[in-house]
Structure 1
């Protein structure tokens, strides 16, 4: 995970603010409606609605295809249906309906027909045809049981025939709907201004009559109906809650009800319509179809209700459609008002804040994580948020869905761009600079730590690693150039893999020599321990190469490794035009001298006292000597790492014990006893053989009193 700084935090906040402002701005207002559509689809698909349509407070009486195909309506113009409509309406009212609303408009009467019929117009011969119908309208209207519908328009108004309007004493309400810019109906108007007075829309009028209460305007401007403050994100509208996807409203075929009137089945009308709000409307496949919030999931033209007299027509299986009959839009609005579950949408400030917060979360994720991880975070967070939004939508609260999702996606893209252009510039430079010198995991650790190498140099506590092949020049003289290159590539590759695998940095190759450091450029508190581990592994790997690699066959290569820990200057050092990341200090020189000192003692690895001390108790050591290397006045105690703690062999333990005993006698000037101790293991240990020889010489010729047990090395 990438660390973030103050600049990154400011960038993430600014990006979130910009993305949130863009996706909640007026030009993208359609996203609010898209959220409603998606939430409606998710709710209908995942959760659904199991309410029994029989419990619906609203029912629809449908002038449907069956009606058009059933006598006496078949082949007859709708103007001739008025008497039968009046009879059915009377039976519905007698059955206990609270109120009936017309979602159909009869703008003319057959009594108006001027078509010639004999020696007079047809209309004159049909005078009185609508009398019974008009009487029924007057009766129902006087009882508060009927509301006719009209379409308000400056260009093409559509209103009931004047005689009908007079019969209902002008109890006519607008059927206009609220259509968004994408031609989708998601909300319904609550009222219209007619003659500078607010007049309730059809759905509000029907619900008000069902409640027996007049709509009021609250202090905040909200419309209140029977103590229900209707939520209005868009002023003077109700956001439709298509909870049942249209299937929660029972539908009665007008043809079947007309036959039921003929049958005189009063009980059926009582069972079907008692206490109900009834909407009379057309349900046809080609007329008055509306695109609503159910357009993605598909809606239904109600649920067929129980029938009274007519058999169920064949081939009437319902299928979900992207559009529904207009009467169900009004039926849904009425049901939302009666059941008080119209959708509550958040206002612009709340939507903007939620969108900005969502975008900020993803922006910070994109700042801290790799692009792939940030994209997974976006998917996961969006899925969780969508689940929460669906749950709240079940309770009639619509959280914005598309705005946060798209704004956060835009914030993700902008943050990735910001990182590429600015924030990760140093990281890319680092990776490019060290790609051929450090293991990828070391570079990743360095990047994650946030500690970049300082240009120009800095003081760091490091462990230096020097290695050199013994007598390689004489071996190389006997090899062809191709064989030499193959051998060196195999050897250097194997050693480098081990060094980098333990967090080391290969500074340079000098012929067959390797110069490496641990603790820089990647900060590593355990650099001494890792350097010793690497040295032991390199020594073991060379034995494997000698035994099993064809390029090493017959050469029996050996190498010497020197380790020293201490302060050093590391960084990009060189000329103004050419520089390398390298290291300089006395710590480096001492490590180089210790590598060369191995040949005096016949050892493969030699480490300074500081390296031994900084590596803790991880390894088994033996102290070799106190030496004074060329170019340095102070003596250095040097040690040989044998193996990891408790992993040394019995032979190593035996040799180490005898050597320690001899070294103690040596430093106490008891040279004869020192010689005896060293002699016990001299055949198996070159260092013991060296000291045995030196002890015998000093036993025969004791040194001066000022003698100190320090070996001064004359060469490198």
Structure 2
């Protein structure tokens, strides 16, 4: 009962921790996210990026070649270079030209280059610029910003709402077409979501992917952020390759390579510090993140978050099932194997979910279940250890301590097992002449003498696999056949009795100077008796009760004047082939109507 209470208490604690984590700690959320990252990295290898989105990459090679061959100088380049690039790409009729470069501050030293960029996009309607929302500052009134930014009010929007935005101030306002590129990390520092739109007092400020989705009628997405579905193998073309080809009389670039494509101009160069930690790795280019977000919106294959509350229920169910399993004493290895199977099934479910564009936060549910399992297994182990130690201490009083551990391990000894009827053999041994001996010697000497005698005889009983029941004054009661199953319990009891008789002769030689008669009588009977822990809740003894016990005691009483050892006919019949038996006739005993036939056992070689 105490163990069951422990499992219930542990379940209540785990439920409390799950509730606390769901409401505040978010450890389970991080577990789900991190395991999801592992799966996504694996899946991304078999999920190629679409070929209709191309990145023109300002990589390290481009920085070096533009400085050497185009005489652009170090970064940031004159904006006329971007203008020339736009003109070259636009001539091939792309679906959209998207910058992943902020143009929020004019070039005070080269204003003419800003004008060239403005002129290059003057007649184009498919060039998109990024802007960012900052957390601080009063900012501009959203109602006053150009409609080309795509900022839309809800019916209840605050008309005085403001936001601090890094807008493309280099570009003329009528060309401020674009959206936010804010990419914020989760609580563990890893970025997994791209902003769909920012809600500022009822005003919806679109992200750059969301603005493209509106303009090109891509699948709608109403949530404020999008869980990215990562891909690999996107086409990257070094900026310098395209720019130098555009300014060459004999270009080696494929004709119309940007036709009907979404062309993103951004940087993956480490020195330009546009690298972010994501599910795909510690450092991931911001331009690749933007391309992934645009790709997901275009094809509608972003990951849909399934509400975590459903999987909190799964965690509670698993923990409850484990509590039940431990409470009914299911094998711990069976429970562990079941948990392993459930864990593999959960991992497979998450994998399949990701393949079908759903994120299933099952990892935390499994983690909570494993936490319960390991703590409950520890409780079970400690309880089992305490029970085992208690049983060893208890049974060592009755059995040879060398075999107690083996019996407990095999399950033959169970403190919780109810008493049961078993076929056993009971032995009673009583000292003759003890009264005379005690009258002629002091009590301390008699106790010392008894202890020596009992130690000698109990060692023999244990040697032959017997169970010591109790000492009754100067008498010994033992039995065979329980708790360990012993098909030859009658034989082993007689063998013990014969050796006890031989040991007594040696013991009597040590006492010859006492000048007192000292002998024993041993009675043995085989039959059915109730065996088990019997007594009160506060005091239990492992003992036997029944007529078999009474009869063996009566037989011991009949040994005087007949033989040192007498056994009943049922004992003789159980092992007749192992000993010689001398018949001593039938005798009436108290409490039985039928006479009892008695025999004296002797070793075969006598």
Q: TM-score, normalised by structure 2?
A: 0.71
- The runs of 5 or more residues in structure 2 that have no matched partner are 138-163, 435-447, 511-519
Equivalent residue number for residue 347 of structure 1? 307
Match status 1:201 vs 2:162: no
Identify if the C-alpha distance between structure 1 residues 491 and 61 changes in structure 2 by more than 3 Å, giving closer, same or farther. farther
- Structure 2 distance, partners of 1:199, 1:400, is 29
Match status 1:237 vs 2:225: yes
Identify if the C-alpha distance between structure 1 residues 28 and 206 changes in structure 2 by more than 3 Å, giving closer, same or farther. same
Deviations 1:632-670 (A, max 9, x none): 44225559899xxxxxxxx99xxxxxxxxxxxxxxxxxx
- Structure 2 distance, partners of 1:96, 1:626, is 123
Match status 1:186 vs 2:192: yes
Aligned length in residues = 546
Match status 1:496 vs 2:481: no
- Structure 2 distance, partners of 1:163, 1:569, is 97
Q: Secondary structure at the match of 1:466?
A: strand
The answer on whether the counterparts of 1:562 and 1:591 sit within 8 Å (CA) in structure 2 is: yes
Q: Secondary structure at the match of 1:463?
A: strand
- Structure 2 distance, partners of 1:43, 1:493, is 69
Identify if the C-alpha distance between structure 1 residues 75 and 133 changes in structure 2 by more than 3 Å, giving closer, same or farther. closer
Deviations 1:301-344 (A, max 9, x none): xxxxxxxxxxxxxxxxxxxxx12122222222222333433223
The answer on whether the counterparts of 2:103 and 2:170 sit within 8 Å (CA) in structure 1 is: no
Cα drift, residue 253 of structure 1 = 1.3
The correspondence for 1:106, drawn from 103, 120, 125, is 103
Equivalent residue number for residue 533 of structure 1? 488
Equivalent residue number for residue 369 of structure 2? 408
Match status 1:292 vs 2:278: yes
- Structure 2 distance, partners of 1:582, 1:507, is 6
The 5 A counterparts of 1:63-74 are: 63-72=58-67
The 5 A counterparts of 1:158-557 are: 159-166=166-173, 168=175, 170-193=176-199, 196-209=202-215, 212-213=216-217, 216=220, 223=222, 235-242=223-230, 244=231, 247-263=232-248, 268-270=253-255, 272-286=257-271, 287-294=273-280, 299=281, 322-367=282-327, 373=333, 376=336, 380=340, 383-385=343-345, 387-395=347-355, 396-412=357-373, 415=376, 432-437=393-398, 439-443=404-408, 445=411, 450-451=416-417, 463-466=424-427, 492-493=458-459, 495-496=461-462, 498-499=464-465, 505-508=467-470, 515-517=477-479, 530=485, 533-537=488-492
- The runs of 5 or more residues in structure 1 that have no matched partner are 114-121, 217-221, 224-234, 300-321, 454-458, 474-481, 643-650, 653-683, 686-716
Equivalent residue number for residue 18 of structure 1? 16
Deviations 1:158-179 (A, max 9, x none): 63443514352x2120111233
The answer on whether the counterparts of 2:428 and 2:552 sit within 8 Å (CA) in structure 1 is: no
- Structure 2 distance, partners of 1:543, 1:248, is 89
RMSD: 5.3
The answer on whether the counterparts of 1:290 and 1:324 sit within 8 Å (CA) in structure 2 is: yes
Q: Secondary structure at the match of 2:301?
A: coil
Q: Secondary structure at the match of 2:103?
A: coil
Q: TM-score, normalised by structure 1?
A: 0.61
Deviates more, 1:536-545 or 1:323-332: 536-545
Cα drift, residue 346 of structure 1 = 2.7
Match status 1:50 vs 2:46: yes
The answer on whether the counterparts of 1:151 and 1:174 sit within 8 Å (CA) in structure 2 is: yes
Q: Secondary structure at the match of 2:233?
A: coil
